[in-house]
């Protein structure tokens, strides 16, 4: 494995600033909030949940609203007695959500300190020998999580260090004016578009999308040269920059974008796309985490990506919307349980990805269409991509299965990147 080269000076500058994410007191507090897992055994369980979800402010970490599936729900401490009164059997995945967030913050800070110390040692060692320092700096990026400003700097660094191979792109600007910035790699006639962080609390997706970009730019996989002549890759690590900033400054569990709707912040952009919008699996409550918006494409973030895709059709070979968590590799449709005519082809590719993923670190990914694999979800990105003629659209859910949820430890960034690259490349081989 070879990482992208970042100059020691650049990494040292990042290391000094990068690991100062806001401490817990400045963020929304989730002390004694629990994340519970409910096995959906019958319709009565689903009805009890749906009848009470708004009154109890349920935050669905997973939405598997099918009989036989599991639903993970974040329940606040002040609503927990009312939740228990519903008499729904549950198991506790996370007994104190704030403790998990605090542990994540501590890990980021300690990892940043360790990296700075290692850089100082290497400076002295290699300066004495008169050697280039940049090779040591290369693996640093994927050892930790980073701020929005750092991700912007990382993108710019990749572009400047790979002239002729990488160029700047943007889907457009967010509702608050931040660019949905990324990198274009390769010069093939077939386009592959993928992004992370449509749901802003899913930090691992940002890092894994960047990991894939890194492999395309500087990786040692012998297949890459062929990929770059066959495909042009359009890579945007943070599709929802406003929401991402919110997770780092005020509310780590924020899922939506940064629009203000009816006194609450955010539209779920993955329920706002203009294909089969408002046909199930969404909410009309602006305070809900699945709020679909007042109309299709009311969010600029979804609108921008849709327009970007449409401009590339009919030559879009694949589109991937990367999410977490649950370990799934999914196909359309999300709005209906009736599968599209190319479902068997898409499922075969999804199975190819899952098999390649498992061969790396033993992680099992489930495959299938969105509706039947997890839940009804109209107005989602993969459905829209399918509807406009993208040949292979996927929605992917990365690690894990609930132990850490959205707060996946930094030491799982590289393993998650490795296995996702394996799945991604295995699909490319068959396109």
Rounded to 5 degrees, φ, ψ at 291 are -60, 125
Nearest to 383 by CA among 256, 267, 271, 239: 271
C-alpha to C-alpha distance for 43 and 48, rounded to whole angstroms? 9
Do 201 and 246 contact (CB within 8 A), yes or no?
no
C-alpha to C-alpha distance for 104 and 76, rounded to whole angstroms? 19
The secondary structure of residue 340, as a DSSP letter, is: P
C-alpha to C-alpha distance for 189 and 233, rounded to whole angstroms? 10
Which residues are within 8 A (CB) of 347 and not within 5 positions of it... i.e. 6 or more apart? 331, 367, 368, 369
Do 141 and 3 contact (CB within 8 A), yes or no?
yes
- Please pick, among 43, 397, 418, 419, the residue that the annotation labels catalytic: 397
What Å distances lie between residue 60 and 51, 56, 76, 176, 294, CA to CA?
A: 14, 12, 12, 26, 21
Q: Reduced to 3 states, what is the DSSP secondary structure of residue 319?
A: strand
C-alpha to C-alpha distance for 59 and 201, rounded to whole angstroms? 12
Neighbours of 31 (CB within 10 A): 13
C-alpha to C-alpha distance for 64 and 146, rounded to whole angstroms? 30
397 is catalytic: yes
What Å distances lie between residue 369 and 43, 63, 296, 325, 357, CA to CA?
A: 21, 14, 22, 16, 18
C-alpha to C-alpha distance for 265 and 286, rounded to whole angstroms? 8
Q: Is the dihedral of CA 29, 34, 37, 38 positive or negative?
A: negative
Nearest to 187 by CA among 209, 170, 165: 165
Sheet holding 59-60, edge to edge: 59-60, 70-75, 34-39, 91-94
Nearest to 364 by CA among 373, 376, 372, 356: 356
> Which H helix or E strand runs over 60?
strand 59-60
Do 204 and 244 contact (CB within 8 A), yes or no?
no
Cα within 13 Å of Cα(302), Cβ side: 30
Active site residues: 397
């Amino acid at each position: 494995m070879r990482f992208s080269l970042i100059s020691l000076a650049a990494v040292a500058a990042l290391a000094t600033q990068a690991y100062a994410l806001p401490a817990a007191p400045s963020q929304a507090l989730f002390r004694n909030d629990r994340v519970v897992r409910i096995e959906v055994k019958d319709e009565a369980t689903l009805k009890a949940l749906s009848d009470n979800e708004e009154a109890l402010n349920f935050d669905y970490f997973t939405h598997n609203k099918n009989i036989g599936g599991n639903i993970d729900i974040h329940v606040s401490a002040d609503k927990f007695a009312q939740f228990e009164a519903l008499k729904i059997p549950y198991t506790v995945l996370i007994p104190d959500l704030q403790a998990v967030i605090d542990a994540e913050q501590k890990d980021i800070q300690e990892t940043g300190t360790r990296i700075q110390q290692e850089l100082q040692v290497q400076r002295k060692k290699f300066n004495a020998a008169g050697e280039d320092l940049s090779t040591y700096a290369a693996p640093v990026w994927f050892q930790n999580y980073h701020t929005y400003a750092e991700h912007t700097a990382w993108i710019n660094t990749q572009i400047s260090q790979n002239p002729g191979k990488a160029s700047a792109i943007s889907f457009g600007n967010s509702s608050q004016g931040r660019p949905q910035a990324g990198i274009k790699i390769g010069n093939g006639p077939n386009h592959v578009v993928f992004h992370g962080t449509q749901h802003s609390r899913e930090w691992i997706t940002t890092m894994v999308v960047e990991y894939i970009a890194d492999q395309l730019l500087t990786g040692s996989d012998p297949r890459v040269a062929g990929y770059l002549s066959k495909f042009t890759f359009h890579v945007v690590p943070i599709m929802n920059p406003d929401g991402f900033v919110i997770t780092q400054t005020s509310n780590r569990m924020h899922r939506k974008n940064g629009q203000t709707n009816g006194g609450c912040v955010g539209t779920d952009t993955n329920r706002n796309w203009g294909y089969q919008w408002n046909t199930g699996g969404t909410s009309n409550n602006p305070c809900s985490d699945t709020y679909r918006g007042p109309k299709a494409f009311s969010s600029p973030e979804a609108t921008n990506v849709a327009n970007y895709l449409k401009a590339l059709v009919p030559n879009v070979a694949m589109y991937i919307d990367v999410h977490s968590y649950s370990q799934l590799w999914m196909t359309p449709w999300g709005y209906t349980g009736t599968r599209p005519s190319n479902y068997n082809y898409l499922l075969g590719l999804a199975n190819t990805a899952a098999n390649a993923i498992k061969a790396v670190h033993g992680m099992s990914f489930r495959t299938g269409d969105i509706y039947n694999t997890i839940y009804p979800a109209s107005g989602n990105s993969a459905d829209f991509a399918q509807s406009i003629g993208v040949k292979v659209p996927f929605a992917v859910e990365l690690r894990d299965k609930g132990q850490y949820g959205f707060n996946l430890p930094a030491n799982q960034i590289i393993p998650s990147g490795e296995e996702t690259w394996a799945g991604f490349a295995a699909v490319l081989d068959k396109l």
